[in-house]
């Protein structure tokens, strides 16, 4: 889990227009539900705004096609759950049966929406690598807080209710690194109470996820070792100049691959940047082959290497 700047993405039109009017309708309907005698068992409302395609696109852009909680890439493998951080339908209070009242008026609020993978969001039996137990994990309707919960807004009121104090990490508000650290074996360890609750409720120590982290950690180690070895070779003053340039390109490629692990699809691969530089001096580069990696060049027509 990493900190993400929500202001980097424009609020979807479906939320600024349809969502704003829908929120007013929800507040009015929710007030009628509370004042009904007898009160219905559950509050029902047809939510539409948060389900719109532009909302899903904006969330995908904000988190670059990854789950807001575990950073797994869901694109192409599973549907994205538009997660209501403060649950709209009801809240599972610790030790109590059934659901307490939720936060339905926040159903179309941009600041309450996050993209989530199925394993983080839905209750499923999963193996926890820290406790070594098979447990029902996943956020679902859980939302622990310290102190009282936020009060519902009243129709016509211009004053927003005071927010409650959540015991879960919101990656668009909190810095997760202050609450969670990761061991070399991929297991998440809590630094705070908020970290403890987030690890368990978001299922951040489920077996498959821990193994994936371990694999990435090993890959990072291998790339760093390769970069160090190449740097030693490049530092040799007797090394052929053309070979040195090729090895420098390889180092740049390895560094870029490391950056791609944290910011995929956001950086220009160094061999493409190199292509542009050389193309300006030496003409068009050969077309790269997907099976062969980035193209290679000989010296330019003027005898130099770009």
Q: Do the Cβ atoms of 202 and 180 come closer than 8 Å?
A: no
Cα within 13 Å of Cα(38), Cβ side:
3
Helices within 141-206 (DSSP H only): 193-201
Average pLDDT over residues 12-17: 92
pLDDT on residue 62: 94
237 pLDDT more than 80: yes
Q: Do the Cβ atoms of 82 and 59 come closer than 8 Å?
A: yes
39-89 pLDDT per residue, tens: 888 899 999 999 999 999 999 999 988 999 999 887 666 678 899 999 999
Q: Tell me what percent of the residues of the chain surpass a pLDDT of 70.
A: 84
Q: Same structural domain for residues 128 and 39?
A: yes
120-149 pLDDT per residue, tens: 998 888 888 888 888 888 899 999 999 999
Q: Same structural domain for residues 145 and 75?
A: yes
Q: Same structural domain for residues 42 and 174?
A: yes
Q: Is residue 246 part of a domain?
A: yes
Question: pLDDT confidence of 266, banded at 50, 70, 90?
Answer: very low
Domain encompassing residue 271: 218-282
Question: What are the b/e assignments for 269-303, b being 16+ CB within 10 Å?
Answer: bbbeebbeebeeebeebeeeeeeeebeebeeeeee
**Distance from CA of residue 149 to its chain's centroid?**
26
Q: Same structural domain for residues 85 and 144?
A: yes
Q: Same structural domain for residues 70 and 146?
A: yes
Q: Is residue 290 part of a domain?
A: no
pLDDT on residue 77: 63
Q: Is residue 302 part of a domain?
A: no
Q: Same structural domain for residues 125 and 177?
A: yes
- Tokens at residue 30, please? 């929710």
Q: Same structural domain for residues 95 and 133?
A: yes
Q: Same structural domain for residues 67 and 116?
A: yes
288 pLDDT more than 60: no
Average pLDDT over residues 206-232: 88
Q: Is residue 50 part of a domain?
A: yes
- Is pTM, for the whole model, over 0.85? no
54: which residues sit within 8 A by CB, 6+ positions away? 12, 13, 14
Q: Is residue 296 part of a domain?
A: no
Q: Is residue 236 part of a domain?
A: yes
280 pLDDT more than 90: no
Q: Same structural domain for residues 252 and 122?
A: no
Number of domains in the chain: 2
Q: Is residue 295 part of a domain?
A: no
Q: Same structural domain for residues 151 and 254?
A: no
Q: Is residue 1 part of a domain?
A: no
């Amino acid at each position: 889990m990493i900190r993400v700047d929500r202001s980097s993405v424009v609020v979807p039109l479906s939320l600024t227009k349809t969502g704003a009017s829908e929120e007013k309708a929800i507040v009015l309907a929710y007030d009628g539900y509370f004042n009904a005698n007898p009160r219905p068992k559950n509050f029902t409302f047809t939510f539409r705004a948060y389900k719109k395609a532009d909302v899903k696109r904006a969330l995908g852009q904000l988190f670059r096609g990854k789950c807001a909680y575990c950073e797994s890439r869901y694109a192409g493998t599973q549907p994205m759950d538009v997660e209501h951080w403060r649950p709209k339908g009801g809240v599972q209070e610790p030790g109590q049966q059934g659901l307490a009242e939720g936060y339905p008026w926040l159903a179309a609020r941009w600041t309450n929406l996050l993209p989530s993978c199925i394993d983080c969001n839905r209750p499923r039996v999963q193996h926890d690598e820290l406790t070594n137990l098979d447990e029902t994990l996943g956020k679902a309707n859980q939302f622990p807080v310290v102190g009282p919960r936020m009060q519902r807004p009243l129709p016509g009121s211009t004053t927003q209710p005071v927010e409650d104090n959540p015991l879960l990490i919101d990656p668009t508000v909190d810095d997760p690194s202050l609450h969670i650290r990761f061991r070399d074996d991929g297991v998440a360890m809590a630094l705070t109470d908020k970290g403890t609750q987030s690890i368990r409720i978001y299922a951040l120590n489920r077996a498959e996820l821990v193994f994936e982290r371990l694999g990435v950690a090993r890959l990072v180690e291998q790339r760093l070792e390769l970069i160090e070895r190449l740097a030693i070779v490049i530092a040799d003053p007797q090394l052929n100049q053309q070979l040195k340039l090729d090895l420098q390109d390889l180092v740049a490629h390895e560094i870029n691959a490391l950056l791609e692990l944290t910011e995929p699809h956001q950086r220009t691969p160094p061999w493409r940047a190199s292509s542009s530089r050389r193309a300006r001096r030496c003409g068009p580069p050969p077309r790269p082959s997907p099976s062969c990696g980035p193209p290679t060049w000989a010296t330019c027509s003027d005898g130099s290497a770009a």
